[in-house]
Each structure stands twice: as C-alpha cells, then as structure tokens.
Chain A
C-alpha cells in the first residue's frame, strides 16, 4: 500500500498537466500573442508525451507526438492560434485524457479525425504575414536549426547517482545526436577525505556539433531535468567543427584534467543565454566555484520547500488521529484540573498547546487553494458560451483562497450547476443584450474571499436577473403558496431551491429541468454552509455560498441545558447575556431587548425537553446567521471547547436541530446544535405568533 502504482502516479501527474494545458489553451484564446502561454502548453504536451512513453502508454505518446508536431508551428510563431485551432486542440487534449483514463472507450478513428483537423489548420493556414509574435520572440527553433551546434553545460545534483540515473549514459545519448566534444569540469571535486563515494561531483561541458533541434537535447535530459542544471547556448557559426568526434569517458574517481576544464568554463559563462523553455537557469560561474559543502546545503534547502505528494486518504487518517488526540487531551486536561498535582497540570497544559498546534498544522495541510477548482470551469464556460452562442467573459478572483480539500471536491458539482444556470438563464442572448444597451459579451464572475471563519464563494452574472413575478406565478401554480400571500422578494426567491421547481419555459439540454438548485442547496448545507441569492432586475444575479473553513474540527461553545451538554459553533455566537428577570417573567412574548433591538429567543429547555428544574439565572447566547439574530436560553455556559465533529448516523437523520456530535473530556457524547435550523425554527415560531395575534 505504501508503494504507489507507477501508472497511478503518471495518471495523477497527467491530470495536473492537463489542467495546465487546458488553462494555457483557453488563455491563448484571449491573448493569442502571449508566448508564455504557448510555451507552457507546449511544455505540458512534451511532458505528457515523455512520461506517457515511459509508463507504456504508447498510444498516448504517439498521438501526443503528432499533436506536438502540429502545434509546433504555433510555437514557432508561424500560425496564429485562432479560436478554431484552440477548439481542435482542446478536443485533442480530451482525446489524450481519454486515452489515459479509459483506453477502452477511445477509438483510433476519432484520434485520426482530430489530428487531421489539427493538420488542416496548421497547414492550410499559411499566414500572409507571419505574425508579429515572431518578431518579438527571441530567435527560436527555426533559427536554431540552422546553426552549427550547441554548447551545453551540465551540472547534476550530487545525489543523482543514487536515483539510478547515470550521467554517462546521458552523455552517450547526447553523442548519438552528433559529434560531441565532452570535457569534464572537476572544480567541484572535494578532497578525498570529504568525498562521498555515492555523490556525483563532476560537471560537464559539451560542444555538440550537430544542427539538431533544441527539443532533441531536452529529450535526452527529460527525466533528470529537475535534478540538474542545463545551460544551453548556440555555438557561434564561426567556430570550426572539431576535426574528429571525440568522446572522453571519465570515471567519477579519475584524475581531474584541470587545465582542460578551465578555459571551457569561461566560454560557457560568456555564452550563457537564458533558455527559452525556462527549465534551467543560467548558472553564474562564481557559484560553481563555491565550496561543495555550502552548495549541498543550499540544495538541501531547495529540496526542503519542495512539495510532497500525499494520498488524500492518509491526510484524512491523520485528521482522524488528530481528532482522537484532541479528545484524549481534553480528558487529560479535565483530570489534571480536578487533581492537585502541579507537575501533571503542567504536562497537561503543554500537551494542550501541542495538540492545538498539531491540529492547526494538520488542517493547514488539508487546505487547498480554490483556484484548482476554478480552473475547471473555464472550459465549461468556453463550451457553454460556444454551444449557446452567447459570448461570455469569465473572470475569476481569489484563486488562492484556501479551503479544506474535502470541501473543494464537494463544491465542484454545485458550482457547475450555478455557472450553467448563470449562462443559460442569467445571461441574455446577444440581441436582447444589445436592445437593453448592454455589452454584447456577457460576464460571469467567480470569486472566493475569506470572511471571518467563513469563506464566501460568489457566482455573479450581469444578465437579466431573476424574474420574481414568474417565480411567484410558478409557485402559486404548483401550490407552494396561496394566491395573494404577502411575501418579500427574498422569500419568493427561496422557491428556486424547492425540489422540482423550474421556471424555464423550454427545457434545454443544460438546465431547466428543475433539478439542480435544491441539490445545490442540500450539498452546501451538508457542508454546514448556506446559500444566498440576490438579484437586480436587468443587472444580474449574485449567488453567494457561505462555507465554513473546515469540516473536521471547530471551536465551539459548550453549554448546559438541564442534564445535557451541547455545543454551539463559536463562529455563530455573537454575545452572551443574562436573561433578565423581566424577560423571564413575560411568558407571553419571546423577545429580548438587546441594546434597543428586538431579538427573538428560544428556550432550549423546552426545545430539548430538559428534565429537572431550571437554574436560577438563565443565560442567553445570541447567535446569528446572515442578518438574523436569535437568542438561545440555556442553564449554564461552560466555556470554549475544541469540537471534533462526528456526524450523526442515519438513524438520527430525522433530527434536524443537531448538525453532529462530539466527544467531551469525560468521554460522553455531546450534540452540536445546528444554528441555521434553530434560526429557521425561531422564525417560524415568530410567524406563528404573528398569525395567532392576527386571528
């Protein structure tokens, strides 16, 4: 279980590369002259091809190769990436993805068709003027292929041999490209007593006298490029080719040929130019002369900040363990507090501090920037806008906002629904927009932002807005409200979340079936989040999702009601006040006066059917969701509690006022109050009261 299936590793890597490729292609549609984008798309393709071949995905490799060849002309700036070309390239990308993920379902004919399309675009499209980009770009492949050769400076990380890579094999491969003049650079070799026999200290300076492509050279070093520095510069034309191919094979331990190395290094340093593909940084000569020790130290630091791939399940497991630790720590703290042993108290405090920082670190490790999710929707918008012939500009912001990875996964489907809705129903067609004096191109904004202990994700369109009258008519038609009932716009919009509710007069392939919004709402609420709609007629609709930062552990307020102890999520708590004698006496009205504002309150003793007699001084915890505030009356406020959330089983799914349970310091379970549900409950009570007053 520890060793991951290499094919699986490839699949994971490929799926990340696909995201890069797709992103680059889509951006290219907006900014066709951006060389960076072309290069990053090309790099992704190249890596897919290389690792595909390595892991035995031969079809992937050969198809990608064809794709790459066709795309190469775009890279060389000979063709402009048109919208059509990008569509074909996206189709090609999807095909490669299918080849990797589900080879059985693919058909060679489809692949051929896509390639034909690609080739047709790149060959038919002989540009009248070979585009401005070619002039701006640094002299690339077309120029390169005409020159006399390449000057390479190779520097491998010292541990390269331990990974099973052999620099000599690579040099041999390089020699196959053409006559090579190889000089080892030995200035990195330490004294014998400092030498690690398994480290590679040699560097090489190579003059390759062959008119080969830069890619051919990159191909040679493809699998070690992260562990080496490759400085590449074209050989000057004037330099005469070496009389005969000469290849010096030197053993690692062999005596240095210092006199030979020195002048060549100088040449290398003088000719260093930045490599366009950006894989290797030009290496200043001074650095190569620094002591080996300092260099390895620096390398170690570099490796330290590198990312590590961890299976998601292991993170989940880690979170579970931390949860158990927090519970055990709570028990220890309780035990220590009840005893009088000072040293145990100190240890308990120390462990409390460690557990809480471990919790934060673990949760941090589970946080993923939401940008990885946003990227997926660009394709969706691109396709939808093409299919519906509604030009749409897609703007995202707050991509680096971090959310728990489980939540990111759960968010994908709801956001697809919301974005589809926004384009299909929200954005008007071009004619309507023009008639209303709007820009022809619609606009969808997807944004994420931190707001206290919550993350707000908004989907905003600048379309026609919700048709409140139509929603109302539909709700009356479906018998959800009585005709003529007095409702605010906000209340009417809530019907959109009703199962099976759709106002679309025609059902399209995309939306209008009335499934969706209720699912969206349920998914969001399952994550302990909430969803909110706001709309302005003629100007657009904004859907706001409010999500908690994490699903696993929250800060809670522990309270006691009768014999039972309950948790209220601290993020919802506004303040705690004492229930005054006056409030207590008036059984008829359930309102508090909080600094002049009327706040309805619920007696938790009644709600939770607590036994025993109430405490003399009842406390009120004011909670809020959105704009509504509600007081909860409890017997006692015990204090803060690190709450590890455990979900309630199916057998209790009918109990809505609890969102989960947790385990307290003494090992008993305590239930977590669902704040949103309590507020709804309070509101309905208030409404009932109004009704009974009116009657």
Chain B
C-alpha cells in the first residue's frame, strides 16, 4: 500500500488514499485502510439503513458494504472497470469494525500536508458539516477528508 511513496512521511503530513466518488475526490486516512479489492457480489440486507445496504464476503468475513455516495447525496453510478472496494477498519463504540466502502475510482496513496488544510466553509456546501473532518488542497484541487466514524454511525 505504501509503494510508490517517495521518502519518509513528514511529521506534519498525513498519508491518505485518494478515492473518487462521482465528481468529487475524497482522501481516506491511510491508517484506516486495510485493503483495496475488486468488486465482489453483494448481498442485499433488507431493512438496513440506506448507506449500508448490503454485506460482502471478504476472505471469509462477512462485512458491511457502505455507500458514501448516498450519505453525500450523490447519484449512484453502475460499477465500472475502475470501481473498487476499500476495506477500512473503524472504531465504533470502542469496537473495531471492518467496513467496505465502494469507490468509483482509487487514485493513489499520497500525502497531504497539514499546512494545506483549509477551514471548512460554513456556506456553499450541500453536505452535512459533521461528515467532514477537513478539506485539504492537493494538486490545485480541493479534496474532502471525511469523518468516517460520523458518517457510519
């Protein structure tokens, strides 16, 4: 996962996995990411909340598959050749929980500097502010670092 990284990470930098959801880019804290897999057949869970609509089998474990696009009110795209499932480990109520997150595209593992962090603007966003940890600048683009614990709780 850390391949392709040049040099040691800087102390004030954060390693992230850059993923694309619809038109937006999201940066997931690389420390949370366990693995990135190709899409697998999903099993729909009737009656589950809309953002965790199904479960998947990841190496013998049945884990929930979350759809961030629903949480961020984005249109759902059909799986393409670029679609991946990013398996992250979250701490929910003191217990580690593995969750799969569908990404329309996974770009790369990279670093974003804390100096690039921008204040989350109070206006001009249609997303709930509590879902967003902060917004950072990366290669002249704004990327969202989501607060996964909040999103999935």
| Chain A positions near chain B (C-beta within 8 angstroms) | 323-324, 327, 564, 607-609, 646, 648-652, 654-655, 657-658, 661-663, 666-671
Contacts and interface: CB of A to CB of B under 8 A. Distances in A.
B125 to A, nearest CB: 25
Contacts of B48: 651-652, 654-655
A651 B66 contact: yes
Contacts, number: 73
B68 to A, nearest CB: 13
A661 B60 contact: no
Contacts of A662: 62
Contact of A651 (B46, B52, B56): B52
A649 B93 CA distance: 12
B57 A657 contact: no
B64 interface: yes
Given A667-B57, A668-B57, A669-B62, A649 B98 contact: yes
B66 to A, nearest CB: 7
Interface string B98-118: 110000000000000000000
Interface string B39-62: 011011111110010011100111
Q: Is the interface of B mostly helix, strand, loop or mixed?
A: strand
25 contacts: A564-B43, A609-B46, A646-B62, A648-B45, A648-B62, A649-B99, A650-B93, A651-B48, A651-B64, A651-B92, A651-B97, A652-B45, A652-B64, A654-B47, A657-B46, A658-B45, A662-B62, A663-B60, A663-B62, A666-B41, A667-B57, A669-B56, A669-B62, A670-B43, A671-B55
Contact of B95 (A650, A658, A667): A650
A661 B99 CA distance: 15
Chain A interface secondary structure, helix, strand, loop or mixed? Answer: mixed
Contact of A669 (B47, B55, B92): B55
Contacts of B44: 564
Given A646-B61, A649-B97, A655-B45, A667 B40 contact: yes
B87 to A, nearest CB: 12
A651 B60 contact: no
Given A667-B41, A671-B43, A652 B55 contact: yes
A666 B43 CA distance: 12
B63 interface: yes
A649 B64 CA distance: 7
Nearest to A604: B46
Given A327-B60, A652-B55, A661-B62, A669 B43 contact: yes
Contacts of A657: 46-47
A651 B152 contact: yes
Task: Categorize the interface residue count of chain B.
Answer: 20 to 34
Which 9 A/B pairs are nearest by Cβ-Cβ distance? Answer: A661-B62, A608-B46, A646-B62, A669-B43, A651-B64, A668-B41, A651-B52, A669-B62, A669-B57
A684 to B, nearest CB: 15
Contact of B43 (A324, A651, A668): A668
A664 to B, nearest CB: 9
Most chain A beta carbons < 10 A, residue from B41, B61, B62, B95: B62
Contacts of B56: 669
Given A648-B45, A652-B48, A671-B43, 7 more contacts: A650-B97, A651-B99, A651-B152, A652-B52, A654-B48, A658-B45, A666-B41
A564 B97 CA distance: 25
Contacts of B66: 651
Contact of B63 (A608, A649, A654, A671): A649
B67 to A, nearest CB: 12
Contacts of B47: 654-655, 657
Contacts of A327: 60
Nearest to A656: B47
B55 A648 contact: yes
A607 B52 contact: no
A680 to B, nearest CB: 14
A481 B52 CA distance: 35
Contacts of B45: 648, 652, 655, 658, 671
A609 B98 CA distance: 26
Nearest to A608: B46
Nearest to B99: A651
A554 to B, nearest CB: 15
Contacts of B152: 651
A657 B48 CA distance: 10
Task: Tell me which of B44, B93, B97 has the highest count of chain A C-beta atoms within 10 A of its own C-beta.
Answer: B44
A607 B45 CA distance: 11
Contacts of A666: 41
Contacts of A670: 43
A666 B95 CA distance: 30
Contacts of A667: 40-41, 57
A649 B95 CA distance: 10
Nearest to A670: B43
A276 B48 CA distance: 67
Nearest to B54: A669
Interface in B3-47: 40-41, 43-47
Nearest to B49: A654
Most chain B CB within 10 A, of A327, A564, A654, A661, is at: A661
Contacts of A649: 62-64, 97-99
Contacts of B46: 564, 607-609, 655, 657
B148 to A, nearest CB: 12
Nearest to B66: A651
A261 to B, nearest CB: 64
Interface centre among B48, B49, B57 (most CB of A within 10 A): B57
A654 B46 CA distance: 11
A649 B89 CA distance: 12
A666 B56 CA distance: 12
Given A564-B44, A646-B61, A661 B97 contact: no
Contacts of A661: 43, 55, 62
Nearest to A328: B60
A564 B42 CA distance: 10
Contacts of A668: 40-41, 43, 57
Nearest to A658: B45
Contacts of B92: 650-651
A669 B62 CA distance: 7
A60 B49 CA distance: 57
Nearest to A664: B57
A650 B152 CA distance: 10
Contacts of A608: 46
A662 to B, nearest CB: 8
Contacts of A655: 45-48
Contacts of B41: 666-668
A607 B46 CA distance: 8
Nearest to B47: A655
A91 B30 CA distance: 55
